[in-house]
Amino acid sequence: MSNKSIGVIVGRFQPITLDQINRLFVPALRDNDAVVVILGSSDTARDDLDPFYASEREHMILEALMDAAPEHSDTQIVFRPVRDYWYKKTRFITAIQSAVTTAIKEVFGEQFNTESCQVNLYGIDREDPASDYLNNFPQWNSKVEVDSRFDDTWVMSGVYTDTLEWPSYLAPSTYRFIESWLNTEPGKRISAGHNHINRYRQKYDPLEKQAGHALQFMTVDNVVLHKGHILLVRRRSHPGKGLWALPGGFLEANETTVQGAKRELREETRLRVKDEWQTGFQHFDHPTRSRRGRTLTFAYKWEIPAWRDVPQLSPDKGFEREVTKVQWFPLSKVINEMSHLLFEDHLDIIESLAY
């Protein structure tokens, strides 16, 4: 019987803070033979909430540990990026379980009996839907802290607005990394996107305060398929400037969702679809799916008959302000290679309706 133990730390770490180092990493490194760090929200497009790729977060964590906890540098750390599955919690949990199993074999050897390894789970449960996944690993020994006041999203907000007292919250190496990153093209673009969201929200926050509840927005999206290809548009403006997206937009007050979907498709691509081409419909309502606020979208699936030729498409006159390019992509390429280039939860929509 093995007495090996491995610590599993789950989080976004956008970026890693000194509080997280002390509350999660130090006890995990101190009390286990090795540590697996699950980097959530990986393989997605950058935005102001998740600005750093998994490789950048791994670098920041290792450097921060050298700054703040050098006495634990001998403990082996294995990083595993895991994508968010907005509407398939079971798939997300399975991805974490698989990542931990492969990491155990990497650390202790292929012949090691993973079932004999004690797994200790570390995380911070904010008692909200976003951290509920931490309660779905009953086979592991929970070291999860419950702290409903914990919120790490304010860190980058302070960075974008230059109001963060750096030495109080971040390791020196993390500060240097972010300071340098802010001067890169992604840093400037994401900062501009954050400022756009702030201006956008300033229009609606007073209305929400007056109403006593959050405003809800309704949008429509189109999943258009033809000969194994899917139609995407490239966004001209924030949020998601430069990202590929499904053709779609906000629903107008005097139209049904299918009418709105057809209108948005015409405006952004000049493509007109026939009713008989519709083969699917689904709504997507994850509470945090859009940085603009509570936004529900209604997505329609259209399959153009293979015998029909599809002309080169482009935005309708006047809608070039929204879309810079219209392009057909192989569906396999979009799903397997373009997750970091897609807007909001559009990969999840495509997987649900087209794959």
Q: Is the pLDDT of residue 72 over 60?
A: yes
- In tens, the pLDDT along 272-325 reads 999 999 999 999 999 999 999 999 999 999 999 999 987 678 777 766 778 999
How far is it, in rounded angstroms, from Cα 197 to Cα 284? 21
Q: Parallel, antiparallel, or unpaired for β 118-122 and 124-125?
A: unpaired
| pLDDT score for 319 | 67
Give percent above pLDDT 70 in the chain.
97
| pLDDT score for 1 | 47
| pLDDT score for 154 | 84
- What is the average per-residue pLDDT within 215-221? 95
Torsion sign over Cα 109, 112, 117, 123: positive
How far is it, in rounded angstroms, from Cα 208 to Cα 269? 34
- What is the average per-residue pLDDT within 73-96? 93
How far is it, in rounded angstroms, from Cα 241 to Cα 160? 17
- What is the average per-residue pLDDT within 325-331? 95
- What is the average per-residue pLDDT within 196-213? 90
Lowest-confidence pick of 207-211, 238-242, 285-289 = 207-211
Give the chain's domains with CATH numbers. Answer: 5-181 (3.40.50.620), 217-354 (3.90.79.10)
Q: Is the pLDDT of residue 233 over 80?
A: yes
Ramachandran assignment for 212, one of left (phi > 0), alpha (psi -120 to 50 degrees), beta (any other)? left
- What is the average per-residue pLDDT within 51-64? 97
Q: Which tokens in the block code for residue 122? A: 């570390």
Could you tell me the pLDDT band of residue 132, with boundaries at 50, 70 and 90? Answer: confident
Mean of the per-residue pLDDT values of the chain = 92
Return the bridge partners of 9, or none.
37, 122
Q: Is the pLDDT of residue 74 over 50?
A: yes
Beta strands per DSSP E along 192-254: 217-226, 229-235, 244-245, 248-250
Q: Is the pTM of this model over 0.85?
A: yes
CA-based nearest residue to 67, from 180, 173, 177, 175: 173
Q: Is the pLDDT of residue 19 over 50?
A: yes
| pLDDT score for 291 | 92
- What is the average per-residue pLDDT within 245-264? 97
Give the N- to C-terminal CA distance of the chain in Å, as an integer: 44
- In tens, the pLDDT along 158-177 reads 899 888 777 678 999 999 99
Burial 58-72 (b: 16+ CB within 10 A, else e): bbbbebbbeebbeeb
HSE toward the beta carbon, residue 140, CA cutoff 13 A: 25
Lowest-confidence pick of 52-56, 85-89, 294-298 = 85-89
> Bigger pLDDT: 243 or 322?
243
Whether omega before 311 lies within 30 degrees of 0, making that bond cis, reads: no
Give percent above pLDDT 90 in the chain.
75
| pLDDT score for 320 | 75
